[in-house]
Chain A
Amino acid sequence: MIELKDVCYARLGTRDLEGATTFATEFLGLEVAERRRDAVYFRSDDRSHTLCYFEGDPEDQSIAFEVEDEAALIAAADTLDRMNHRVERGTVEECERRKVKDFVAFLDPTGNRIELAVRPERSGKRYFATRDAGITGFSHVGLYTTDPVRDEAFWTQVCNAKVSDRIGDIPLMRVNEIHHTIALLASDKPGVQHINHQVTNNDDILRSYNFLADRDVEIVFGPGRHPTSGARFLYFKGPEGMVYEYSVGVDAIEDEETHQPRQFGFEPTSLCKWGSKPQSSFRR
């Protein structure tokens, strides 16, 4: 079984690196860790980077998860190989571009590019945001799936994810005590549906709601509260259709032994217990 420790970074291609950088800093509030000619690295916490926009195709997206060590990486590569998932070992140059010691890349059953990384760099410098959004760090992602049942089996049997709850066919899966690190949403093709950063408190959610709406950033869902994880949330549109989320207060699964995933019907109150409804642009 592939043991995922935590989500690590997201890499997104963009046709407008300048615009994406402006969004990531002035609106989202991340800190620029490093600027290169064709890529910009952003921080959200004590990691060296958690988001990288690079010049390229917006459909070229990767999500990386950290694994324990080199041995775990090799074991993971082996597992995937034996299942006939094509696995690519990162070259020295590619590792450098991701600020990791080593990684392998493969496609999940839907075709999302997933990277397993070892020894991702941490920064010695404290995180300092570009705007006071209260961000405490990159926390989880939503991924599109062309078959939720098949992909849930992949993440929970080939990898160590566990389903915390389901909304209709959307499994919310954890790899540690945090309610979810991966959410799967049905679509006709692969892609990252949303990128989540945790913020400090409810005030941050409401403040950002007004801040972003005042600047004509499209609010696609919220402010609201998920009945599944208990988190208060806000989803908004970023460059090239990416949805970003702020949330606070994601439940921890205290008792691994006894937790049973709940089944919520696929209706608005399952996604928000306050009564907000997602816009059509929340997902494909």
Chain B
Amino acid sequence: MPSVDIAFVRIATSNVAGHAAFAGDMIGLQVVPGSDDEAWFRSDIRRRTLVFTPRGPSSVGIALHAPEDVDAIAERLREAGHAFEWHDRDACEELFVRSGLRVTDPSGNVLDLVYGPHHSGIRFFPQRDNGIQGLEGVGLRSTSPERDLPFWRDLLGFELRDRVGEIAYIGTDALHHRIALYPSDRPGILYINFAVEDLELVMQNKYHLQSRQVRLPFGPGRQAASGQIFLMAEGPEGLLYSLVTETRKIDPTRHRPRQFAPEASSLCCWGSRPEGIAELTV
């Protein structure tokens, strides 16, 4: 089972400026110059990890560590009759990757399976002391995680790690999960996980964002299944930035998926409750 990273997140929006202001001024991601009508940001050593673009669709970039791993996925998709498209040279250049293909999950989430996302020679330097270390994962809306699971597992190579009710946590390596699927009435990116140094920084971010009137609909909290400490901040159009730390490492050869009760304490064992987010209200 090849391990993956979440290489980038692309958000298609008519409000590039609003998103850019939030990602830069509030969250404090580093601006990457280079576009007139898109807003680009980075969160770690990679050249670019977050894009706001007027040109759709939104997509999540999943990086494989060898080109053969992408080929293997293409093979499985082909055999399953699941439509996909290789990115041509121009598309790869636009995505800042060496190669890749685009596929849509059964719910309609667009995924770019890529090899060789560009790294930068320049160290990451945030706009404020947010303690961000990098893009760690995403939470996706799914119109049926149960129906979607075979796609993620058999075609893309993810493993089911744990469930909370119908919410599914999936991963490929020792990190408990990189992607979580939430039952919803539509596809889409629910939240973007950015790893921060430790609880110190999660709490500093809480008070800083609060003082800047940012809505914090969930957290600080700790996910029962993964031990992940999180703080969610709401940006434009309901896009959630989740600042996380202490996501547990598991032994993929021995971990068996558990079923957590669909109760609030399964999503946060510290007792915090989500406010106004249907997908997080179990």
Contact = CB atoms under 8 A, between A and B. Distances in A.
Interface of A: 202-203, 206-207, 209-211, 214, 223-225, 273-276
Nearest to B201: A274
Interface in B15-31: none
Contacts of B272: 206, 210
Contacts of A273: 200, 204
Given A202-B199, A225-B200, A210 B271 contact: yes
Contact of B211 (A211, A225, A275): A275
Interface in B113-168: none
B270 A274 contact: no
27 contacts: A202-B199, A203-B270, A206-B220, A206-B221, A206-B222, A206-B270, A206-B272, A207-B269, A207-B270, A209-B270, A209-B271, A210-B270, A210-B271, A210-B272, A211-B271, A214-B271, A223-B203, A225-B200, A225-B203, A273-B200, A273-B204, A274-B204, A274-B206, A274-B207, A275-B204, A275-B208, A276-B207
A275 B207 contact: yes
B203 to A, nearest CB: 4
A67 B44 CA distance: 55
Interface in B209-247: 211, 220-222
B67 to A, nearest CB: 43
Contacts of A203: 222, 269-270
Contacts, number: 39
A175 B16 CA distance: 58
Q: List 10 tightest A-B contacts by C-beta distance, closest first.
A: A275-B207, A210-B271, A274-B203, A206-B270, A207-B270, A274-B204, A210-B272, A276-B207, A274-B207, A202-B199
Interface of B: 199-200, 203-204, 206-208, 211, 220-222, 269-272
A59 B220 CA distance: 37
Given A274-B204, A275-B204, A275-B206, 20 more contacts: A202-B199, A203-B269, A203-B270, A206-B220, A206-B221, A206-B222, A207-B269, A207-B271, A210-B271, A211-B271, A214-B271, A223-B220, A224-B203, A225-B200, A273-B200, A274-B200, A274-B203, A274-B206, A275-B207, A276-B207
Nearest to B221: A206
Contacts of B206: 274-275
A224 B210 CA distance: 14
Nearest to B204: A274
B233 to A, nearest CB: 14
A68 to B, nearest CB: 39
A202 B222 CA distance: 11
A225 B207 CA distance: 12
Contacts of A223: 203, 220
A215 B207 CA distance: 22
Contacts of A209: 270-271
Nearest to A204: B270
Nearest to A224: B203
A274 B222 CA distance: 18
A210 B206 CA distance: 15
Contacts of B269: 203, 207
B282 to A, nearest CB: 17
A258 B168 CA distance: 54
A224 B203 CA distance: 8
B95 to A, nearest CB: 37
Contacts of B208: 275
A111 B164 CA distance: 57
Nearest to B207: A275
Contacts of A207: 269-271
A26 to B, nearest CB: 15
A211 B264 CA distance: 13
Contacts of A224: 203
Contacts of B270: 203, 206-207, 209-210
A225 B220 CA distance: 15
A79 to B, nearest CB: 44
